Amino acid sequence: MEEEFPRKLFYTIGEASRITGVPPHVLRYWESRGKLLKPNRRSTKHRLYRFTDIQLIFEIKRLRDEEKLTLAAMRRQLHPQAAQRPALFQPPLLPPSPQNQLLTLLHDIRTELEALKDLLE
């Protein structure tokens, strides 16, 4: 694949589209909704794709076409550290009491619900 196109520092969205076979509107969708791509931008806001971005597009295309993954599943597979986001609520470290035990229980329930939500996405 790499030999099929010239190695340049940056590619426009049209060039990236021709190289990868992915329409420009899909590339923009993967960037805005999917949060899978982050191309550089000129001062005029035009997207500039690097060689690594082109390789990432090929990988996203493979995951979509061959493995039939959703955007959320692709995001988890491509960026595993982002899927392990820190918990929003951390119970305070206080001596055990019925109220503190309740806070700990609520935190555990929230963690389980977030994990289930991620699985359902």
Q: Which of 11-15, 40-44, 57-61, 103-107 has the lowest mean pLDDT?
A: 103-107
Q: Is the pLDDT of residue 47 over 70?
A: yes
Domain spans of the chain, in order of start: 2-83, 85-121
pLDDT in tens, 76-90: 888 765 545 554 545
Alpha-carbon radius of gyration of the chain = 21
CATH class of 2-83: mainly alpha
Question: Which residues partner with 40 through β-bridges?
Answer: 48
Whole-angstrom Cα distance, residue 30 to residue 85?
21
Over residues 45-66, mean pLDDT:
91
Question: Which residues partner with 49 through β-bridges?
Answer: 11
- Whole-model pTM over 0.85: no
Alpha helix (H) residue ranges in 1-121: 13-20, 24-32, 51-65, 71-78, 80-83, 98-120
Q: Which of 27-31, 43-47, 75-79, 81-85 has the lowest mean pLDDT?
A: 81-85
- Specify the DSSP class assigned to residue 80: H
